[in-house]
Amino acid sequence: MAECGCSCGTKQPAVDPAYRRVLWIVLAINAAMFGIEGVSGLIAGSVALQGDSLDFLGDAANYGIALMVLGRAVAWRAGAAMLKGLTMAGFGAAVLASTAWRALHQGVPDAALMAPVGALALAANLYAAYLLFRWRGGDSNMRSVWLCSRNDALVNIAVLAAAGLVAVTGAGWPDWLVALFIAGIALSGGISIIRQASGELRAPTG
Ligand SMILES: [Zn+2]
C-alpha cells in the first residue's frame, strides 16, 4: 500500500501471536504519543509538535490496519486506508493553516515545553523500533523498519533543533519551518493514500 514513506514494516502478514502483541504495543505507543504531542503542541503553541504528532497518528493507523489484516478483515483494509488518508490530509492541511496563522501573528512557541516533548517523541520512536527489530530481525522488511525509524528519528531531531533555535533566537520561524515540512509530508502522503484507496474501493479484487 502507498504510504507517506513510513509504512513501518507492516507489509508481511505473520501469525506469530508474539508479533501480534508487539503490533498492539507499538499501536498503543503511537496512539498515546499522537495525543500527548498533539495536545502539548496546542499548549506550547508549537506547530512543529502538532505536525510531528501526525506521524504518530499515521503509524498508529498502519499498525491498526496490519492487525486487521492479521485478523483476516481484509475487506475493511481499503476503507481503513481511506479513513487514514482523509485523516492525515485533513490534519496536515489544518497544521499548515495553523502555521500560516502563527507566522502572520509572529507567534513564538514555548521552547521549554517543546524540547522535553520532542525528546519523549524521539524516545518513543526508538523504543517502538527496538521492539519491531527484536521480533522482525533477519527478515526482508527489516530495511523498511530501519528506514521508517530513521526518518521518524530525524524529524524528532528537527523538532528538538527547532526548540533550541526558538530558545536562542526568541523567534517563531524555526517552529514554522519544521511544521511546514512535516505537515506538507502528511498532506501529500494522505492524498496519495486517498488516491490508492479510492482505486481499491472502486475495483475490489477480492
Ligand atoms: Zn513514522
Tens digit of pLDDT for each residue in 60-99? 988 888 888 777 666 777 888 888 899 889 989 999 999 9
- 3-class DSSP state of 133: helix
Q: What's the gap in Å between 8 CA and the centre of ligand 1?
A: 7
Q: What's the gap in Å between 105 CA and the centre of ligand 1?
A: 30
All cell numbers assigned to 169: 533566537
Residues bordering ligand 1, an ion, CB closer than 5 Å: 6, 55, 59, 152
Among candidate residues 33, 157, 163, 184, the one with its CA nearest the CA of residue 94: 184
**How far is the CA of 151 from the CAs of 158, 163, 203, in angstroms?**
11, 19, 33
Q: What's the gap in Å between 55 CA and the centre of ligand 1?
A: 5
Q: What's the gap in Å between 59 CA and the centre of ligand 1?
A: 5
Q: What's the gap in Å between 170 CA and the centre of ligand 1?
A: 29
Q: What's the gap in Å between 52 CA and the centre of ligand 1?
A: 9
Q: What's the gap in Å between 106 CA and the centre of ligand 1?
A: 29
All cell numbers assigned to 184: 506538507
Residue 199 has pLDDT above 90, yes or no: no
Residue 3 has pLDDT above 50, yes or no: no
Q: What's the gap in Å between 156 CA and the centre of ligand 1?
A: 10
Q: Which residue is it, cell 492525515?
A: 88
* pLDDT tens string 15-70: 678 888 888 999 999 999 999 999 999 999 999 999 999 999 989 988 888 888 77
Give the mean pLDDT of the chain: 85
The domain limits of the chain are 17-201
